[in-house]
A and B are shown apart, each in its own frame.
Chain A
Amino acid sequence: MSILAIIFILTGVFFFTTATIGLLRFPDFYCRMQATGKGDTLGALLSLTGLALYNLHHGFSLPTILVSIKIMFIAIFIFVANPTSTHAITKSGLDCGVEPFTKEEVIR
């Protein structure tokens, strides 16, 4: 159980790292939103699943299972809310007229 939890948390941290690198290195607003929206959602989901599994490694009793279920509720909430907020920010950026990054800018 502990090994499974470690694998989950390390994978989650990997996705967080790639999302942060994408946020820092991508050229424009839309690319950055795409990197953080996807990477953060998957990273948070995997990390929280890992924490829920790690919480169970002392044994299955009612309090630990309850805490694990609460952690999974947080994961579900993030799974629903994070893409929606990314969508809202990106759409408001599009409505306000943020120019997408195109090939011409690379050539120029």
Chain B
Amino acid sequence: MTIEFKDVIIQTICRLLTPPIQLYALYVIAHGHYSPGGGFQGGCILGASFILMVIAYDIGEVKRRMAEKMNTIFCSLGVIIYSGIGAICLILGANYLDYGILHKILPVNPVRARALGTLGIEIGVGIAVMAVMISIFLNIASGGEHEGALE
């Protein structure tokens, strides 16, 4: 049974609430290393804001804002940021993901370098989780066809 579900109240509220939700996701990512939260949780909230748009509008609207090509690029960009920071530590002569060694290339002391390295990792994880969440949801919701409204 297909139900036409276009509701002006839900669409307006979802459009108004999406930017605060995304801002809150960035807050969770940025505060991940000294309060509850982190890359995975923030990425999940970012992905959930796009899923809210899919539910309120349709899949085409979200694909216009976040194309499948960009989504795939983000997906691998997050992994590259994560493993790239780890590999830089490896190149500089420490263990994999041992951020303290980053003070050799950053103009800060080792403690600060460790905090910055963690922030970089969190950003990479957040981007990857957001892209994978959107990709999984679009593929499951549309049966792999990536078009039409939700039924």
Which residues on the A side are within 8 Å of B7 (C-beta)?
87-88, 91
In contact, A88 and B20 (Cβ under 8 angstroms)? no
A105 within 8 A of B: no
Which residues on the B side are within 8 Å of A2 (C-beta)?
none
A81 within 8 A of B: yes
In contact, B17 and A81 (Cβ under 8 angstroms)? yes
Type the 1/0 row for A85-108, where 1 means its CB is closer than 8 Å to any CB of B: 001100110011000000000000
How far apart sit A11 and B34, CA to CA, in the bound complex (Å)?
Answer: 35
Q: Which residue of B lies closest to A96 (CB)?
A: B3
Chain A interface residue number, banded: 10 to 19
Main secondary structure of the interface of B (DSSP, over half): helix
Main secondary structure of the interface of A (DSSP, over half): helix
Q: Which residue of A lies closest to B16 (CB)?
A: A80
State which residues 1-47 of B face A: CB under 8 Å.
Answer: 3, 5, 7, 9-10, 13-14, 16-17, 20
Chain B interface residue number, banded: 10 to 19
In contact, A87 and B10 (Cβ under 8 angstroms)? yes
In contact, B5 and A95 (Cβ under 8 angstroms)? yes
In contact, B20 and A84 (Cβ under 8 angstroms)? no
In contact, A80 and B5 (Cβ under 8 angstroms)? no
Q: Which residue of B lies closest to A91 (CB)?
A: B7
In contact, B3 and A84 (Cβ under 8 angstroms)? no
Which residues on the A side are within 8 Å of B10 (C-beta)?
84, 87-88, 91
A26 within 8 A of B: no
How far apart sit A88 and B55, CA to CA, in the bound complex (Å)?
Answer: 11
In contact, A92 and B13 (Cβ under 8 angstroms)? no
A77 within 8 A of B: yes
How far apart sit A77 and B7, CA to CA, in the bound complex (Å)?
Answer: 20
The 8 closest A-B pairs by CB, nearest first: A84-B13, A95-B3, A88-B10, A87-B9, A91-B7, A84-B10, A80-B13, A84-B9
